[in-house]
Structure 1
């Protein structure tokens, strides 16, 4: 049997097949020539939009023949489809990460075998069989092959920046940046390769260069360490500006900045500071009561039993103001009448604590009682500018208990092995 079949380009060709399995179709020899001619006829009628057949017969004849041809094509395609799909095939095998899938086909016939391998940059981490086969049921035989990525060692200098990690897996990328004030020499990233090496070495971060600073008019530059050499300074290097006495620079400090610039030189001008004033609970030990010039100093001291916080010397600054004055902090009293404390490495009954005075920032230890455990435990309190808080747990004993049962006080009974939580510092303030 012959029939027409269309190729992808639109061209029609004649195909001859034996007529078997279709008893209702004629097997006469007169099928061949008309069908062969029909294919040519179809090509021509397609070009002429079915206006005439090749034999200039009416359009109806061409359409009838074309309908018959396509009917035969559909019947043949149906027969072929049912014949092919009756066989079981396997799709692409299921794989896990790291298995090479570039050599795998989309469809496999029953009985075909496949050898699974790890792709480049991965190593097998299990001893499972690698060869699998397509069964007659359309399923693959099992394989637990697992592929693990090759690891690249992280350079020791960078491990602290990698949160303690010492290795990175294949395809990992390290991105590098430099801190402000530094420029990168080298590549800003490095990738872990299939052979366990990095494609780029870590870069270097070099300090930004700045030009040499210019000294102020009527002044000079004082170097912090060694004098500058060459024509540049580096980021982080600093210096001090000075003016000829009695003038002061508009600002005193300069440095090489992160953007590679240095400040313009300051202006030298005359400044003075007002007569210094006294401080609470303190005195000026030596000073001439007059205005003071730039860099002149005044010294303070605190009254007896007061503790100084800050520097005793103040300085007339380049702004015409004094530097911060010190503060004199007051002593404290232990505000209990009965009990025993631990102070200055000694256990002392409060009536023997004379004078009753604790200096600022000194520590006094009180004793509290753990009643369920019947043991005592210490709680520390710190004097802060005249205030010594009592622990919340502290209970001052009554006169009878204090005088007749002193051995039962928290300071005298055995100490607890472990003090209660949050019982190490005082929180109650005595008014």
Structure 2
């Protein structure tokens, strides 16, 4: 057989065989062994499913030494660790170097481990801790949102209303302990000078310096008399860098007001009235004013709501006692027998079961006063001679 098929001087079978039949012949000539030993094309042999590696004494190539050996798989890795180089299996005596991944820092322990004959790896005390970034300063006129400041953590920045973010809105802690971007800043929104309505002006809240105004600065608009301000009296620099909508200055007039039923106006001039001019109203006898005494010309060119004259009421009983404004009156002594619109008067009713009297209220509504159904008007004789038995005079319920 060709010489190149002999056992290697290193003590292992040569591994580059293409046919198992050739390997078997080589084993017979090079390393005598029982026929039940089989080898594969990689140069490894098996007996009863146990992995056996053939070692050859370099000085005695005709004799083989057979030892049971175990290989090591990939070593276990802790958090944040990786290997320097990587292969599927390792032989006893092989060493590997453990490294910390990017973004992690070695804190203790040896970095080298070895594959033992038992197929286990030696223990390593290497520990890798996550790198941290320094905590940035607080964001003025804004706020930060974050959970941690270690590797791959992020900070989100937001500005308060009226401020604009200058810089990155999100920064990330990198593997080298530095932030991906410098912390941003919040700068106030600015506006130019405010728009001034024609025939008007703005009275600023504080002294104005320069021609740049920051968010929130504002003032009050005024119109030159007799013009009227139509719109919002206040103006301010908004969050979008623009001023709020300015008002207009207009001449406003109201037509002559109309009269009211059962009443009169103190000013009967048939002319146009200017903004905020007023007219007063009154009512005829036995009527009261329901609403404001005075109306005003509004900026819309309309008058404020006019009042109404409401009729007073007569208490519609001939005999009996009433309660009005906290006082008792015999109806014939109640002069004049009138109560104003919206006023309340009470009559007395009898509780026949309990034999006691009680007052029941009723209200005047524009000339109408309803007498409660429980009221029983006494006849003339009891009313004149036995008035002490009337509901208004006996014990009250």
TM-score bin, normalised by smaller chain: 0.3 to 0.5
Larger Cα Rg: Structure 1 or Structure 2?
2
Calculate the TM-score normalised by the size of structure 1. 0.43
**TM-score when scaled to structure 2?**
0.46
Q: Which has the higher strand share?
A: 2
